[in-house]
Amino acid sequence: MNPIVAIVGRPNVGKSTFFNRVAGRRISITENRPGVTRDRVYCTCEWQGRAFTLVDTGGIELKSEDAMLKQIAFQAKIAVETADVILFFTDAREGLTPADYDVADYLRRSRKRVVLVVNKVDEYSPDKLFEFYALGLGEPYGVSSEHARGIGDVLDAALLDFSPSGSEEDDGSLKIAVVGKPNAGKSSLVNRILGQERTIVTPIAGTTRDAIDTPFTRDGKQYTIIDTAGIRRKRSVGDDVEYYSVLRAFDAVRRADVVLLVVDAQEGITEQDVKIIGFVHEEGKPSVVVMNKWDTVEKDTHTVEKFEEKLREELKFMDYFKSVYISAKTGQRVEKVLALAREAYEHASFRVQTGALNDLLMDAMRIAEPPSYQGRRIKLYYASQVAVRPPLFLLMVNDETLLHFSYARYLENVIRQAYDFSGTPIRIQVRSKKEDE
């Protein structure tokens, strides 16, 4: 999962300016007065192939009796507790202050790795950094956030212990993230699949806080199942610890090979479920919709059909979905979940031969000609599948602006009818090419 890097320090040391520099845009408010940054501000960033979550915090004044400043300090402390690395900011112009010593003592007690940053070093000189060794936090890094100097060295130091994104050693297992709203039965499903009480299960929503990875073997195949915190609506997230738990759930989706969306069948699919699976779709992950607590639903001969119709209605944007109706509590049809997950992953890994793909699309365009625009029609020169997981098809055409989204959808449906890509999104990209190239 992405490491969390928190920026802390007393007020007016340039934390927010640094944050905005790294984020590449103005997200955090920068004003030369204390107390402007109050709530935590976060951004997903990348440096030298390493993705991480950067968190800006308000200025910490540990000995202040001001109610607002005490609340800001409390929120900053929560950011420290949830972070993997701390960037401790000080000010070269003002030099060391008693408040710096107070924050340094607090950070030492946190036992988190700390990178000491001396900001506002407009012209580098080792003399300006010597006094900061007195904090006992190792080598100070001189930077100028305002002029974007020294930022790369700080990020190198902060991310030293973390691998580049996607470069983690692959253990060969199929990584399955289990996501959904709180109390949908995610942990119960994980425990049923594993055959053991690996994660805490209670009727209290929000019991699972972190994304918990568990490797296991089934029928000679290796898996890693990732149980995640319940993803609430943004306005319902109650505290910063839960907020970061949700961030880790989204990160689990990004690093998974397949995603299981667990839905409470008693409630049916909700707006929040649709938002979660929409995120999975946008990330290009194969997925399975798992309707849990099926044993509690009153049924007749058409119940499944009604549920499927509702899913088709709510998931129009991803009509390739796979679904299964289970009870994690009783074990009903749980054995099908892994099989469907592996099937969705195999479909996402399938590659269509270039010759067959071109024949298919050329025939499709003869059967249903593309619409014309100002007397011009899109012309396909050739097509190829250039990637898998998700399958990505590149179409070389005369003018990419002539491809209407509805016709692109038609071509996608043609591909899906010819090849089984159920359970996985597919992508179509077009690129213009002149006839004489």
Q: Supply the angle between the helices 186-194 and 335-348 in degrees, to the nearest 10.
A: 100
Token output for 208:
């699972």
How big is the CA angle at 375 (ends 374 and 379), to the nearest 5 degrees? 110
Q: Which bin fits 28, alpha (ψ -120 to 50), beta or left (φ > 0)?
A: beta
Q: Which residue has the higher pLDDT, 205 or 192?
A: 192
Between 87-101, 210-224, 250-264, 271-285, the lowest mean confidence (pLDDT) is in 210-224
Token output for 110:
């946190």
pTM recorded for the entire structure: 0.64
Q: What is the pLDDT of residues 206-219, one digit of tens each?
A: 444 456 788 889 99
Question: Mean pLDDT throughout 101-114?
Answer: 92
pLDDT at residue number 269: 96
Q: Which residue has the higher pLDDT, 374 or 133?
A: 133
**Could you tell me whether strands 392-397 and 380-387 are parallel, antiparallel, or unpaired per DSSP bridges?**
antiparallel
Name the band, by pLDDT with cuts 50, 70 and 90, for residue 83: confident
Token output for 327:
């009870």
- Return d(Cα 108, Cα 96) in angstroms, integer: 17
Question: Mean pLDDT throughout 362-367?
Answer: 96
CB–CB of 142/124 below 8 Å? yes
Instruction: Set out the domains of the chain in order of their start, with CATH numbers.
Output: 4-158 (3.40.50.300), 174-348 (3.40.50.300), 354-432 (3.30.300.20)
Q: Which residue has the higher pLDDT, 331 or 61?
A: 331
- Return d(Cα 273, Cα 313) in angstroms, integer: 13
Q: Give yes or no for a cis peptide into 140 (omega within 30° of 0).
A: no
Residue with tokens 């054995």: 335
Q: What is the pLDDT of residues 282-337, one digit of tens each?
A: 999 999 999 999 999 999 999 999 999 999 999 999 999 999 999 999 999 999 99
CB–CB of 307/272 below 8 Å? no
- Return d(Cα 421, Cα 86) in angstroms, integer: 44
pLDDT at residue number 435: 54
